[in-house]
């Protein structure tokens, strides 16, 4: 078997269109968000989702200790949020200056996102160079049901087209 080239593998995976989320945590007095498209719903009973956190990211050590995290689903007009929360390193202002509130289970929820969920961590698994985090959804909402979602496909931001 020839070895899989990681750039080709990334390109191949990029042909699966996804939405874009910002994962948020609060650990002590520190709040942080990270852009992630490795998100999917996992189970209906119980209501589980999973996210994947790359080793070496600033979020990775926070996900090792936090018991809760937030999933913020971005709308098409929030490409700037995606870019901001994909930046390397610390932001000068908490949460990069994006307004947020702390939800009932201690999870930062960004203002103006299309939808959000507060999750409690059920399990963490090793997944190659990522940590797979399974979260149980404890509260969720779609605050902007009528806007188009931000889509990431083939390395570019897009939005959805007409229904087929």
Binding site for ligand FMN (CB under 6 A): 20, 34-38, 52-54, 57-59, 82, 85-86, 88-89, 152
Q: Give whichever of 59 and 73 is closer to ligand FMN, judged by the CB atom.
A: 59
Q: Give whichever of 7 and 45 is closer to ligand FMN, judged by the CB atom.
A: 7
Q: Give whichever of 54 and 120 is closer to ligand FMN, judged by the CB atom.
A: 54
Minimum Å gap between C-beta 35 and ligand FMN is 4
Minimum Å gap between C-beta 49 and ligand FMN is 12
Q: In angstroms, what CA-CA distances link 38 with 13, 52, 131?
A: 11, 5, 11
Checking phi first, is residue 97 left (phi over 0); if not, alpha (psi -120 to 50) or beta? left
CB-based contact 110:116 (threshold 8 Å): yes
Q: Which residue is nearest to ligand FMN (CB)?
A: 38
Minimum Å gap between C-beta 98 and ligand FMN is 14
CB-based contact 74:36 (threshold 8 Å): no
Minimum Å gap between C-beta 138 and ligand FMN is 21
Minimum Å gap between C-beta 85 and ligand FMN is 6
Q: Give whichever of 59 and 75 is closer to ligand FMN, judged by the CB atom.
A: 59
Q: Give whichever of 104 and 123 is closer to ligand FMN, judged by the CB atom.
A: 123
């Amino acid at each position: 078997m020839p070895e899989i080239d990681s750039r080709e593998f990334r390109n191949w995976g990029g042909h699966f269109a996804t939405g874009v989320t910002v994962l948020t945590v609060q650990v002590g007095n520190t709040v942080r968000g990270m852009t992630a498209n490795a998100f999917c719903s996992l189970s209906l009973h119980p209501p589980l989702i999973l996210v994947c956190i790359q080793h070496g990211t600033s979020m990775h050590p926070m996900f090792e200790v936090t018991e809760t995290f937030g999933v913020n689903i971005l709308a098409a007009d929030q490409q700037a949020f995606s870019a901001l929360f994909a930046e390397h390193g610390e932001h000068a202002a908490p949460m990069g200056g994006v307004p947020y509130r702390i939800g009932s289970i201690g999870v930062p929820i960004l203002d103006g996102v299309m939808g959000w969920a507060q999750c409690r961590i059920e399990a963490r698994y090793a997944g190659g160079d990522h940590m797979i985090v399974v979260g149980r959804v404890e509260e969720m909402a779609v605050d902007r049901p009528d806007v188009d979602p931000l889509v990431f496909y083939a390395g570019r931001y897009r939005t959805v087209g007409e229904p087929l």
